[in-house]
Structure 1
Amino acid sequence: MDIVDFLRSRHGVATTKTLYTAGFSRRALAKAVGSGRVARLHRGVYVSKGADPDVVAAFRANGKLTCVSAARFYGLWTLHDVADLHLSCGTGLARRRIVHHGQCIHPDHPYLPVAGVADVLLHALRCRPELEALVMVQAAVSQALLGPDFLRSKLPGNRNGRLRAIVDLVLPRADSLLEVLAHTHFTRAGLEVQMHVDVPGVGEVDCLIEDCLIVELDGETHFEAKQVKKDHYRDNASIRGGRLSLHYYYADVVYHPQRMVDEVLEVLANREAGRFGPFRYIAGPPPS
């Protein structure tokens, strides 16, 4: 493999030790630098054009990316883009546009200046708002990167009670961040919620609320014509089976959760009051 291609496989940055371990000689490295294809970032670190700016910044600061800045390296869900860089720096010195986190105590990323997933999540739990931290933890659990019990064991005592409560919101299974967020909002409204329920005649649904209302959480694939048609037939089947059905999208769950909850409560109240139609339909021949 060419040295530039190797660097690109490492997000454009690598240490001298990494390059030598990969089989590149001192001469090959010097030649790449001399040709301008590779540049020396600082002692012992080399970069290629188009290197990942966050990884470069971590090397410059002699730190490790962590919290939300490390989420993408582990495929963790995030709710919002964050402008500041979150680092665990050996010096702990304040730097402009850098949020400094504490020491990393778990194994790091194998070749990038990125904290290990355990430290990333512990830092996020202490740093980010509740729901932002929750979706990161949920993504890690869903990928089996670690388990909730492990995180709880790292958060002992009364002072970490709030953080353990966030971990307690994690679901055994969540296929998207919408599911864990919706479950949190609905249960906090006092509703009985079952996730990933197999409803006869309909199939598996995202949420079944109070055993009578199906709530589907639709991602981008649900805008495809084939999927829209499938969803409509599933809605028909759920109504024939005596259950109502609602659909919500990313913006509803993430940006307007209270409106979503209020609508669900309104539908449940109307159902309880028998307001879904003034006439009872009786199958059979029309009256003569």
Structure 2
Amino acid sequence: MDIETFLGTRAGVTRALTLRGAGFSRTSLEKALAAGRIVRIRRGIYSMPREAGVLGLALQHNALLTCLSAAPIYQLWTIHDAGRVHLSPGHKRTPSGTLTHGRCPHPTHPWLPVAGLADVLIHSLRCLPTVESLVMLQCAAQRGDISLDFLRRKLPGNRNARARAVLDMVIPRADSILEVLADYHFGRAGLHVRRHVELPGVGEVDFLIEECLVVETDGDTHLEPRQVKKDRKRNNATLIGGRLGLRFGYDDVVYHPERMVSQVLAVLEQSRQGAFGAR
């Protein structure tokens, strides 16, 4: 494994001690630095060039990365990359073009200029659109990194009502960001949804909607030949078992959720009208 790949498994940044423990010698680090493949952002801390930019900005202004800008450090799910840098300032003013967040009362990252996970999530709940903060929160909560009850206690009063509402949208389990988003959009449409339902002859499906329509959300792995064959068999088994089925990919769920929901509603309406009955 080369040093870039190793850093990629650690959100693009790690300590020299960790690199040496993984077998990278001091000489190999110096060569990678000289070639511009990695950057030393402070003594004993190395990162990929892209991460070095935002971390260096935080160090320069005595600030902490937070909200969406800190999500990669904690390996949280995100929908989009942070366009503007989100900072919690120290004694200096944050630079123009950045998004300024409030103070960070909870413990910060132990060795990076990054807010602690609690403040990162609280800032995201107050700052980002619902779906953006929801996927970050879902990822952290289901990994057991943070308690929803803890966050709820930290978000009192009317001004935090919207943030607390997002906490209520977290589901017990989501195998991908697509499941989180699809569940959110189906819920907004008022659909009766059951998640991770085991169906005879089919196996576990992502969603069973109104007890008659199976919906699967497909990530990149579903494009692999072996998975395509498996999905084809599952589709056939779904129909043989007396249920309809729809599949949606990343583009559908993330960029065209209204179209996804409208197609689900259209199939349900046709089913109610007997369009799929035997003739």
TM range (shorter): 0.7 to 0.9
Q: How far did 1:171 drift?
A: 0.6
Aligned to 2:226: 226
Residue of structure 2 equivalent to 1:199: 199
Structural mapping, 1:59-78, within 5 Å: 59-78=59-78
Aligned residues of 2:202 and 2:234 also touching (Cα < 8 A)? yes
Equivalent residue number for residue 175 of structure 2: 175
Shift of 1:104: 0.6
Cα distance 1:55–1:256, how it changes in 2: closer, same or farther (>3 A)? same
**Distance in 1 between the 2:166 and 2:230 partners?**
35
Q: Deviations over 1:23-43 (max 9, x none)?
A: xxxxx9xxx9xxx899997xx
Superposition RMSD in Å: 3.0
- Bigger Rg over Cα: 1
Match of 2:23 in 1: none
Q: Which residue of 2 aligns with 1:85?
A: 85
Kept in 1, the 8 Å contact 2:12–2:47? The answer is no
CA contact (8 A) 2:59 2:113 kept: yes
Q: Structure 1: which amino acid aligns with 2:212?
A: C
Cα drift, residue 243 of structure 1 = 0.8
Off by >3 Å, runs of 4+ in structure 1: 7-14, 36-41, 44-51
Q: Which amino acid aligns with 2:251?
A: A
Deviations 1:237-286 (A, max 9, x none): 1111111110001111111111111110110111111112552xxxxxxx
TM, length-normalised to structure 2: 0.83
Larger mean Cα displacement after TM superposition, 118-127 or 106-115? 106-115
Unaligned 5+ residue runs, structure 2? 1-6, 21-25
Distance 1:112 1:133, change over 3 A: same
- Separation of aligned partners in 1, 2:221 and 2:178: 14
What letter matches 2:170 in structure 1?
Answer: V
Q: Matched residue of 2:230: which SS?
A: helix
Q: What's the TM-score once normalised by structure 1's chain length?
A: 0.80
C-alpha separation between the residues in 1 aligned to 2:233 and 2:11? Answer: 47
Aligned residue-pair number: 256
8 Å Cα contact 1:92/1:100 also seen in 2: no
Contact 1:88 1:101 in 2 (8 A): yes
Structure 2 equivalent of residue 284 of structure 1: none
Distance 1:111 1:180 in 2: 31
The answer for the alignment partner of 1:164 in structure 2 is: 164
What is the alpha-carbon distance in structure 2 between the residues aligned to residue 224 and residue 71 of structure 1? 28
Q: Percent identity?
A: 52
Separation (CA, whole Å) in 1 of partners of 2:213 and 2:225: 24
Deviations 1:152-204 (A, max 9, x none): 11111122111100111111111111111111111111110011111111111
Please say if residues 205 and 215 of structure 1, whose CA atoms lie closer than 8 Å, have aligned partners that are also in contact: yes
Which residue pairs with 1:283 in the alignment?
none
